[in-house]
Amino acid sequence: TYVVLKVQNLKSTTTDRRGSEPCWEQDFMFEIRADGKGFLIELWKKGLLWDSILGVLWIPLAMVERATDEGPGSWWTLHSEVIKNGSEIQGTKTPTPHEILLDVYFALPF
């Protein structure tokens, strides 16, 4: 499995991991505009011919706290559907059995 993070026009992908409880322990840092709405996390299962999506999660930037250092993170339930208003993502719905542990924060200067 692997994770794809999308924020504004930026996209990053984790490395592939095997097993039922994969651990990526990868840090991603994005410089984004303050007027952004949020970001999308996608969990994918690598396939022989094509990959399949296991779940998605929309995190509004208004929910992201500011911090100077990493924290313990939080478990987030992944969903199977993305809610859109036109082309703009509004959220996600319909929970799946999959969860992901994320530590999400705006980094403050030292």
Q: What is the CATH number of the domain that holds 61?
A: 2.60.40.150
Q: Report how far residue 9's alpha carbon sits from residue 31's, in angstroms, rounded to the nearest whole number.
A: 11
2-7/38-45 β-pairing: antiparallel
Distance CA 36, CA 13 (A): 20
| Host domain of residue 81 | 2-107
In this prediction, residue 110 carries a pLDDT of: 62
Identify the band that residue 36 occupies on the pLDDT scale cut at 50, 70 and 90.
confident
Q: What is the mean pLDDT of residues 77-85?
A: 96
Indicate if the pLDDT at residue 33 is higher than 80: no
* pLDDT at site 108: 73
| Domains held by the chain: number | 1
pLDDT at 86 over 80: yes
pLDDT for res 13 = 94
Contact 37, 58 (CB under 8 A): no
What is the DSSP secondary-structure string of 39-74? EEEEEEE--SSS-EEEEEEEEEGGGPEEESS----E
* Mean confidence (pLDDT) of the chain: 90
Instruction: Give the pLDDT band (50/70/90) at residue 27.
Output: confident
Cβ atoms of 39 and 18 closer than 8 Å:
no
